[in-house]
Chains A and B, each alone.
Chain A
Amino acid sequence: MGRPLVAMLIAILALGGSQAFAQTSPPTYSADSLYNLGNSYARAGKPGLAVLSYERAALLTPGDADINANLAYVRAAAQVPVTAPSRFARVALAIRPSWAAWLGVLGLALIGAGLLATKIAQRYSRMARSGVVLGAALIALTVSNAMLLWPRLHEAVVLVDQTPARVSPAPMADTAFVLREADSVSITAEHEDFVFIRSRGGSSGWVASASLEEVVPRSPRL
C-alpha cells in the first residue's frame, strides 16, 4: 500500500519538475535545425520566415555554403535584392563565430605570454616575438569576424508582404515606402509598438513591430 503511494508521489514530482524545467529552459538553436526549418518555410511559400531562419543559421555558421546558397535563392525568388559578400567578408567569416571567439582568447594569451617571455628570458625572444605576432593576428581575425556580424544583431526580417513604413510611429501616419516580405532591415530605434528601420536602400521609416522579426530575438516568438 505504501510503495505505490510513494511511487505515485515520485512520478507526480518528476512530471511537475520536468514540466517546470521545460517551461523555464530557454530555447536552443542549432545551425542545422535552423537551416532545415528555413527549407521547410521556403517550400511552404513563406519567404520571410525562411530568410529569418537562414539568417539565424548563418549567424551560427556564416561560412556554410548551403545556408548562403539557399538564403540567396529564397531572396531572389522573393524579388528581394541580394548583395554578394566581399572577399574580406568571405575570409573573415570562414570560421564559426564560436571558434573565432576562442581563437581570440588564444591570441590574447599568446600576446601576453610573448610579452612576458621577452621581458623575463632573452633566450626565447624570437619565439616570443612570433607568439605576439600570431596572437595579434588571431585577435584581428576575431575582431573582423565580430565587426562583420555586429550589424546582423540589429537586423530584422520583414514577415508581412507590402508592409508600410510610416513617417511617424502612429498607426494612421502616412506611408513613406513599402517593404517586401523577406526584406532585411536594420533597427535603429523603437517607440511603443513601432521600430525605426533603415532599409538596404537607405530609406528610413517606422514599421509596426508585429510585421518584423529580429534575427537575434530578445523575446523569441518563434
Chain B
Amino acid sequence: MRRFNLIVILLCFLVPVDHAMAQAALAYEAIQPARIKVGESAILRVTSFGRLKDITLPTVPGLTFEYLGRQQGLEYVNGTGVDASFIQIRVTPQFASVFTIPALAPGAQAIGLEVVKGDEPNPYRFPSQQPAPPKLITASLPKGEQLQAGGAVFVHLAIPTRDIYVGESVPVDIELGLRPGIVTTINGLPTLTGSDFTLNNLSKEPERREESIDGNDFVVLTWHSAIAAVKPGDFSLAAQTPISVKLTTLSGADKAVASRMAWGLLSSLYNGIAPKEVKFESAVSTMKVLPLPTDGQPADFSGAVGNFHVSSDISPVAAAPGDPLTLRLHVTGAGNFDRVDSAMLGKLDHWKTYPAKSKFTPNDTVGYQGEKVFEQPLIASQSGEQSIPGLQFSYFNPNTRRYEYAQTQPLNVTIGGSQASGGTPNAAVMAQALQGLRADHPASRHSMRDLRPLYFQALYLATTTGLALLLAGGLFIVRPSAVRASSKAGERLMAKVEAAARAGDAAGFFEAARQALLKTGQSGQDVERLFALADEVKYSHYRPVDKELQHWLGVVRGHLLGEGR
C-alpha cells in the first residue's frame, strides 16, 4: 500500500514536468562542432519532442545546407526517455566568418557557427592538451672535442677552415655543452685564449638547444661572435668558459673507504660533492693569418675587408638654391664594417659639402652582415639641372684575393627657383599681373663703377677729411689782425659806456669811459680832458648836461671804434 502511494506521488510530480516540457521545450537545435575551418562541415541536428513536420532549409549567405535524413528515437530528459524526432542537416561554409542559423522548428532558437581560416589556434581546445615534448635530437660530440668534468661539459670553438687576412672579420661560434644537474652555474661569458685576435660583439644571450650525446641529455649553448686578427702569422686559439660544476671533494683514501662502506651514505654524511668553479677550454684550433697585399692597394683604402655592394641616393631630387639635400651611400654586404669608411664628396663645384655621418645597421647579432649608410648634407649654390658624380668605395675581397672597387652611378637633381631659369612657380601669373609697369628709360651714357654712393667711398671720405683738416689748420694758423682784435675789445667796452650814457648816469659814464680808454691805451688832449672831467664828476658832484655827455660819448666812440676819426 505504501509502495503504491509512493508511485502515485511520483506520478503527480512527473506529469507536470512532462507537461511543462511539452509546452516549453518543444524543439531545439544543436550543431557539432560549433567551430570549424573552411573546407570542413558541421552537422546541424534538430530535435523535436512530438511530431516534427518537414522543415524548410534556411538560406544563409555563405552557408550551404544539405538534408541528410530523419530519425525517430528516445531523447533522455533528466534520465527519462521521451519520444523525439531528429532531422540532420550538413552545413558547409564557403568562407570564414561567424554565421547565425535561424530556428528551423517551432520553439527552437537560432544558433551560431564560427568558421575560421584554419591557421588560428582553437580556443576551445582543452587546456591540458599541451603538445608532446619533442624528442631530443641525437648528436655526436664535436670533432676534436672531449667531454670534461667527468663527462658533464664540453666546449667547442667553430672557426673557418680557410686562411684569413689581417683585419678581416670572420664569424665564429662558441658551443658549450652542459649536463643539467651537474653543472650548476655559468660564471661568465666565453673568452679566447691569447691576444692575437679580438673577439667582437659576443652575443650576450646564447642560443639554447637540447641534444642527446652518447645517451646523455645535454643543454648546448651557442654564442655567435666574430674575430679579427691584428697581425699576420700562424696562430692557435681556443675558447674557455668559467663554469661551476659539482665535483667530488673526497681524497683517494676517502674514496677507497667510501667504496667499502657504501658510497651513497658517506657522500651524504661527509658532503663529498660540492660546486667548484673551473675554466673549461675547447680544443686548440689553428688559423693562418695572411697580410693584406700592398700591390694594387688603392689610395683611399680604409681597411675594409669583405664582400660589399654600394648604392647611392639623394633626397629631395628637386630643391631650391640654398636648400639642403642629403646624399646617401649605402654599403651592404659582409665584412669588418667598423673599417668601412668613405670620405663621400670632397670639394664639388657649385656645391657646398658638409662632413658625412655614418650609421651601421647589422643584420645579425655579431655585426658581420648589415648595411652602413653614409649621409652627407649638400647645398647647391647654382640653379638648373645638376649632376652629382658617382661615389667610389674600395675594399679587399678575401674570396678573390684582390682589391676591388664599388662605384655608384651619378645622380641628377634639379635646383629650381633660380636666377637663370627659375622665378616663382606662378611666374606667368606674375608676368601677367605686371603689365602696368612704367616704360623703359632711354639708355644713358652715365655709369658708375660702384653702387655705393660717393660719400661712402674711401676716396671721397679721404678727400673731405683732408679738406676739413686743411680748413681747421688754416683757422688755427691764421691769427686775427690787431685792428680787428682791438675793435672787438673796444666794442665790448663801448657797450658799457653807451649803457651808462643811456641810463643818464654821468658818474658811471665817465668812469666807464676812463676805464675803456685806459685799457685800450688811448691818449691825447681830449682823453686827458675826459679824465679830468671824470674826476670832477666823481669828487665835486659836477653834473654835465646831456649835450655835453653826447659829445664825450662821440669822443669815446671815436677812440674805441675809430669812428669819425
Do A and B pair up? The answer is yes
Tell whether, in the assembled complex, residue B440 and residue A36 are in contact, meaning their CB atoms are under 8 Å apart.
yes
Of the stretches A3-11, A12-20, A23-31, A183-191, the one at the interface is: A23-31
Tell whether, in the assembled complex, residue B424 and residue A181 are in contact, meaning their CB atoms are under 8 Å apart.
yes
Of the stretches B89-97, B197-205, B454-462, the one at the interface is: B454-462
Tell whether, in the assembled complex, residue B434 and residue A112 are in contact, meaning their CB atoms are under 8 Å apart.
no
Mask, B426-462, CB within 8 Å of A = 1, is 1111110111111111111011111111111000100
Q: Which residues of B contact A163 (CB under 8 A)?
A: 320, 322
Instruction: Show the binding face of B for A, using Cβ within 8 Å.
Output: 320-324, 352, 354, 377, 379-381, 417-419, 422-431, 433-444, 446-456, 460, 463-464, 467-468, 470-472, 474-475, 478, 480-481, 484, 487
Chain A: CB-nearest residue to B320? A160
Task: Give Cα A44–Cα B320 distance, bound, in whole angstroms.
Answer: 19
Tell whether, in the assembled complex, residue B433 and residue A29 are in contact, meaning their CB atoms are under 8 Å apart.
no
The reply to whether the CB of A149 lies closer than 8 angstroms to some CB of chain B is yes
Number of A-B contacts (CB under 8 A): 193
Task: Give Cα A170–Cα B248 distance, bound, in whole angstroms.
Answer: 70
Q: Which residues of A contact B437 (CB under 8 A)?
A: 39, 42-43, 70, 73-74
The reply to whether the CB of A77 lies closer than 8 angstroms to some CB of chain B is yes
Contacts A45-B430, A193-B352, A211-B322 given; does A108 touch B467 at CB 8 Å: yes
Tell whether, in the assembled complex, residue B354 and residue A171 are in contact, meaning their CB atoms are under 8 Å apart.
yes
A interface: dominant SS: helix
Contacts A160-B320, A163-B320 given; does A73 touch B480 at CB 8 Å: no
Task: Give Cα A44–Cα B435 distance, bound, in whole angstroms.
Answer: 10
Tell whether, in the assembled complex, residue B453 and residue A73 are in contact, meaning their CB atoms are under 8 Å apart.
no
Tell whether, in the assembled complex, residue A45 and residue B448 are in contact, meaning their CB atoms are under 8 Å apart.
no
Chain A: CB-nearest residue to B472? A112
Chain B: CB-nearest residue to A38? B437
Choose one: A66, A115, A122, A171; the contact of B484 (CB below 8 Å): A122
Q: Which residues of B contact A115 (CB under 8 A)?
A: 471, 475
Tell whether, in the assembled complex, residue A119 and residue B352 are in contact, meaning their CB atoms are under 8 Å apart.
no
Mask, A83-125, CB within 8 Å of B = 1, is 0000000000000011011101100110110011001101000
Contacts A42-B437, A208-B323, A211-B320 given; does A97 touch B423 at CB 8 Å: no
Shortest B519–chain A CB gap in Å is 20
Tell whether, in the assembled complex, residue B320 and residue A216 are in contact, meaning their CB atoms are under 8 Å apart.
no
Choose one: A47, A49, A104; the contact of B455 (CB below 8 Å): A104
Shortest B242–chain A CB gap in Å is 48
* Interface members, chain A 160-178 (any B CB < 8 Å): 160-164, 171-172
Tell whether, in the assembled complex, residue A105 and residue B322 are in contact, meaning their CB atoms are under 8 Å apart.
no
Q: Which residues of B contact A221 (CB under 8 A)?
A: 419
Contacts A29-B447, A31-B444 given; does A105 touch B453 at CB 8 Å: no
Task: Give Cα A29–Cα B435 distance, bound, in whole angstroms.
Answer: 25
Q: Which residues of B contact A45 (CB under 8 A)?
A: 423-424, 426-431, 434
Q: Which residues of A contact B419 (CB under 8 A)?
A: 46, 49, 159, 213, 221-222
Chain B: CB-nearest residue to A59? B451
Choose one: A29, A66, A111, A215; the contact of B471 (CB below 8 Å): A111
Contacts A108-B467, A160-B422, A216-B451 given; does A146 touch B456 at CB 8 Å: yes
Q: Which residues of A contact B454 (CB under 8 A)?
A: 97-98, 101-102
Q: Which residues of B contact A29 (CB under 8 A)?
A: 447-451
Choose one: B377, B434, B450, B481; the contact of A171 (CB below 8 Å): B377
Q: Which residues of B contact A210 (CB under 8 A)?
A: 321-322, 379-381
Shortest A166–chain B CB gap in Å is 10
Task: Give Cα A211–Cα B416 distance, bound, in whole angstroms.
Answer: 11
